[in-house]
A and B are shown apart, each in its own frame.
Chain A
Amino acid sequence: MYKNFYLLVSLLFLCQFALQSSAQDVNLSSKKINEKFKNFSCPEKVYIHTDRDFYIAGENMFFKSYISGFTSDEKQIQSNIIYLVLRDEKSNIETLITYLKNGSSSGHIYLPDTLKTGKYELVAFTNFMRNFDESCYFKKNFLIVNRFDKTLPTLQFNDTLNIEQSANLVTNKKTNVGALEIILIKDSFKTRENIKIGLKLKTEGKTAAIANLSVTVKEANFLFDNNFDIVNLLNENKNSVIDIKKKKTNDTIIDFYPLERNGIYLRGKIKDKTNQQIKNECLVLSSPDSIANFQYTFSDAVGNFQFLVNNYYLGKEVYIKPLHNQISNPDRSISIEDKFTLKESLNPAFKVLPKYFYNYITYSQQIVYIQKSYPDSNAVNNREWTFDKIIIPRAYFSPYLNYNTKDYIQLNDFNDIVTNIIMRTKLEKVKNTNELFVFDPNAKEYRTTPAIIFVDGVPIDNADKILSFSSDDVDKIALCLNSRILGNLELNGLVSINTKKNKLSSIVFNSPVIKYKLDRIADNSVFKPTNYSTTKIPKYAPDFRQLLYWNPNVSINNNETANVDFFASDCVSDYVVEVKGILTDGTPICAYAKIKVYR
């Protein structure tokens, strides 16, 4: 009996093992990945720690982003780019890209003075998370109130939750979660007193652990406490199912959003007037600059294309267009996918606010109004993101010849420039368009394919667009006679023209061109707390900061204590100390404490 039972179990095991092996043997081409991820939850999680949950328009929202990666091929991997969307119920207010270093990044979002009072949401996700449905995205609700909105007609207040009940929610959060401990010598401080807080990390079995933390000390408003903890969120395992409605054919660019570690993927589509997709079209991405630059890609069988955008283009306006102007097919159009479009609409966590909060809002409006009147109120130190290693995608490095038009007599048009200045080039009419041909020093004759012309760094259609350029318009001309090889692309000669008066903006392209501004990168800004020991601030100058401290970059080694110190403001109230972060192995940790400021 037992023998048969174990035989059956063995057979079951073998069957499962065989199935398992066949599953792993599948060649994981990008096309198969959608199927592979089907029915699995998103392994990547994002968490955003913000300095507060309630803002008055005109204030800064400071944030620190964390990511928990996953194991693949025995390596811990994660995205290095997070997309942030701040939206109201109707549209996106701000879209940002934040670059992670060692699994985290920090910055701030300025909330414009003109924002209307209402419910807002901060959504954060990675490109890889877009393979799954939006339930795996990080979403956090905020209340933002306009400073001049006195009647607050868009908000509803009710007596259902009193201040004591709300306060209990915060008091209950005092317990330290995980291995982090907040050490307070005392919990009551006088206004403008120096407050010192110790943070101790004690993890068992992880002796080499280092905690990467963000610390906020904010006025307790007892409004939102929706168990929105880093520990809950980064550890949760929602069953999000991949959206596989997308069409899959053998020759299409993958319906898969890859992990972004070295740069941003930008997708688009090229089609003609009759909505027919254009395949194998060479498309270039270029930005106006004094250096001729571009990246290229080819469209697939259904007209989709994808660029891995060089970091050099971030924050710049780029031109995306076909490399060659096809006169036979002029009515083409290019569209670019907007990564920040969200399918799910904002679902506010709070519909009705407790009545006591009305007073808190009006009190906060007044505080911000006073703080805005003093120069130190915008406590932000901006630090621009700099990338350590950027290779500018230059079209060429060393030109064969360089010409500076100021060294020559004035010439009325580009034909004169070609005849009198640029040696080894000729203008010729080909199928009703003017093309520029360069001399091939190797074959010792003019090339039969036209040269690529760059104006202010961007490739243009043909020489028609530059015929009207006089020597007063042109600053410099660089000429490359040799064939330039860029990966698998061969360019038969290049002519790069730098104009004096940004002539590129006046060029009307025949080929479809899309100008696209690559979203700005969240700057690495830091909060600048008021320091009474170094700055002389008179007693009559008001300091009603509701945010006492925000530091997104606190690091502690295991069994060590880190100290943070700051000054209390004139705002007499209860404050919450909130510390969140991750350990080197990705384990989320957090701790809370409450302090009081009295007069």
Chain B
Amino acid sequence: MDILSGLAQGFSVALEPLNLFWCFVGVFLGTVVGVLPGLGPPATIAMLLPLTFNMNPAGAMIMLAGIYYGAKYGGSTTSILLNVPGESASVVTCLDGYQMARNGRAGPALGIAAIASFIAGTVGVLGLMLVAPPLARLSLAFSSPEYFALMTLGLAMVVLLAGTSLVKALLAMLVGLWIAGMGTDLFSATSRFTFGRTELLGGIDFVIVAIGIFAIAEVLANMEPRAGPRMLPVPRGLANLLPTWQDMKDCRFAFFNGSVLGFVIGVLPGAGSTIASFLSYGVEKAVSKHPERFGTGVIEGVAAPEGANNSETGGALVPLLTLGIPGSGTTAILLGALILWGFKPGPLLIEESPALFWGLVASMYIGNLMLLVLNLPLVPLFAQLLKLPAFAMYPLILGVSIVGVYSVSNSLFAVALLTVFGLLGYLMRKLDYPAGPLVLGLVLGDGLERALRQSLMMSQGDLTILFTRPISATILVLAAAILVIPLVRRMNAVRLAAIAQES
């Protein structure tokens, strides 16, 4: 199927009234989630995942993806008005966005954020559409050893998801592998790590862990402080939100920089939208004629990172949909969702489920357009959400989490497990253990073990099968290289420190 006919099929799926409705629900919820600091896309997607089980998978995926990229539009609002990023990718927007608002230019800052997000978001989807099908065709030659290598590469991405400590990230990933291994082993029917509980024979549902680690832990973390920051006034009327012609001219390179850099960073699993936005801000500053003004409220300082974090979404979906490798906590949850709905994310996804893939691509074009309309004239309305008291919001999040888990399992044991994973997620935050690697281990653990065991069955126990096949060997070398990166960086830092000390 070529790209044009695929896209035509995609639009026929995305333009179905029900799918258009789910697309709108997704981008609307995404904007709300992006606007509200403390409630991120992974938590929201995890909470809503159980409610999608009765939906048509294409509609469900369109909605969940809408939350994912919609949150990136909404995230800039709090960065600009409160100096508090609505989500991690909007951290850089605080630097110049908040300063613009303090200088009385909140309207153009919000406007350029929406326009840059639209342009770069659309470029990102274009990239996804052009890059994903050939990459998937290339990976059709994969067998168990290649899948094992691919999942090892996915797990190696933990290095890039690691926060301050790689050891802690690796430990979190191993805990994820352990949780994934709970239940009955499908090869030998052995019960593993079930603590004698029949409820654990089927393993622990991904939804329980995801909701606990992200949603419950997020509420607990947000419960800590009593008072919130003060919001700057929001300009009213579309005319006050539109940037001037000069602003648009100033942002020409920022649009290009954000679009291209964001997509490329997105394709590299593990890099993430926060890195994309920081890099594009750095590039923008480096090529600017007035770099000294960055941080004081220049409009390119808002356009570049906002564009990059939206273009990154399209890029991040490339490895997710063609190789089954999630590069972040949110894409890991989307991967889990695809598996729960019965799809096999990987090289065959586009071939076997064209309606899902192309429907998603087409819906992202439509969703970006919806977001532009939602975010330009309706920004003052969304900003009102910031006045919603936390004491009214947190019980609702806890309630949706409980209902979500109970609706999946019909078991109070599962709800009890939810509280355990909620506490685990909170403790991980306090102790600086990143949650992303745990989810990565949980999602990839089962497939990794299966691929390894199938590979060794193929070779009758000979491990060299993993290294003698060219694609598998190349991917494993790449995974090893990724694991070595921080070691080299650290050695280099030690070397530089030693040189500095000597001089």
**A complexed with B:** no
